[in-house]
Structure 1
Amino acid sequence: MSTRLTIITGCAIAFFALTAGTAHAWTHDRKSSAPMRQQEVGALLQGAGLRWISSGHCTRRTNPHCTSFDGLRPSTLGGVLRLRDDSRCGLVISGGTERGHAGGQFSHRAGYKLDILPNRCLNRFVRHHYRRIHTRGDGSPLYRAPERSLFARERSHWDVTFM
């Protein structure tokens, strides 16, 4: 790891430790809207106390069995941090920008979506705080958050589009 990346990662972790759950501050502090890199997102998620899993125990974007954050949009990271803060739920991310997801303008590949494992706290929060708008063609109930994010309850996870 380069010295520059080590310093950036350390600063990011210290920032999250000091702000403990202030996603709003992070999103306004970051000047760039450029897609983020795996190491940067991983360090920021870890510093914020968020976990992720990978069925392949890897982070390569080209492998559909990995969970990659390479190419994630800063607004998507800010969205998952806001969700954690607003819901006060423990969140575990199970899918990111890796190959194997459906395409489209607001897709996983484009950095807008994350898959989050369901749990009682998150399920209750989404169903009680967000408006159910319809059922998707695949049978997944679809909820819209006030800031326009979409939550689709698929069989094994929440498919979340952060707008």
Structure 2
Amino acid sequence: MSRLTHAQALQRVNAVGISVHSSGNCSDRNRPNCTSLDTILAKTIDQIVAFKRKSGKVVIITGGTETGHASGTKSHWNGYKLDIAMNAGVTDYITKNFRYIGTTNGGRWAQYQDGSDIWTNEGNHWDIVIS
């Protein structure tokens, strides 16, 4: 599987108008308050770029491969997941165009599926698992 450096991923997402926000204003993969795209899977970046192009909505990445997320095979750390900021345009697009598949976290978080990708509304952001 092809992986990207933070700079390579940033170039790809910025080219289509996707921005990256970090609460710590940093991109250090080893700091949980940073937003890093270092070692992210190219297919994960390809999918968020495709989403931006299809939806035309404002997309802001707020979580990438930095430490501090849940572990697992298809995790943030392993490059399979992104978090994007919650906004009305993105939410409207997802709920109207993706298939609702139920809830998780005790019924608190709605999940939607686009192909094999799972989009979870975690209240203040969308958590995306790219398969």
- With the shorter chain as reference, the TM-score category is over 0.9
TM-score by length of 1: 0.77
In 2, the alpha carbon distance for the partners of 1:75 and 1:112 equals 8
* Structure-2 residue corresponding to 1:129: 97
% of aligned pairs identical?
30
The amino acid across from 2:93 in the alignment is F
**Rg larger in structure:** 1
CA deviations 1:53-92 (Å, max 9, x no partner) are 0000000000000000001101100100111111111101
* Structure-2 residue corresponding to 1:143: 112
The amino acid across from 1:143 in the alignment is Y
* 1:116 matched to 2:84: yes
The structure with more strand, counted as a fraction of residues: 2
The amino acid across from 1:125 in the alignment is Y
TM-score by length of 2: 0.95
Unaligned runs of 5+ in 1: 1-32
In 1, the alpha carbon distance for the partners of 2:56 and 2:14 equals 16
Q: Give the drift of 1:34.
A: 2.1
Of 129-138 and 78-87, deviating more is 129-138
In 1, the alpha carbon distance for the partners of 2:3 and 2:77 equals 11
Q: Give the drift of 1:39.
A: 1.1
Which structure 1 residue ranges, 4+ long, deviate > 6 Å from structure 2?
none
In 1, the alpha carbon distance for the partners of 2:113 and 2:120 equals 9
* 1:152 matched to 2:120: yes
* 1:65 matched to 2:38: no
* Structure-1 residue corresponding to 2:11: 43
* Structure-2 residue corresponding to 1:17: none
Residues 16 and 53 in structure 2, CA contact (< 8 A), matched pair in contact too = no
Q: Give the drift of 1:132.
A: 1.1
The amino acid across from 2:74 in the alignment is F
In 1, the alpha carbon distance for the partners of 2:49 and 2:8 equals 15
Partner SS, residue 7 of structure 2: helix
Partner SS, residue 68 of structure 1: coil
Q: Give the drift of 1:52.
A: 1.0
Partner SS, residue 24 of structure 2: coil
* Structure-1 residue corresponding to 2:55: 87
Partner SS, residue 67 of structure 1: coil
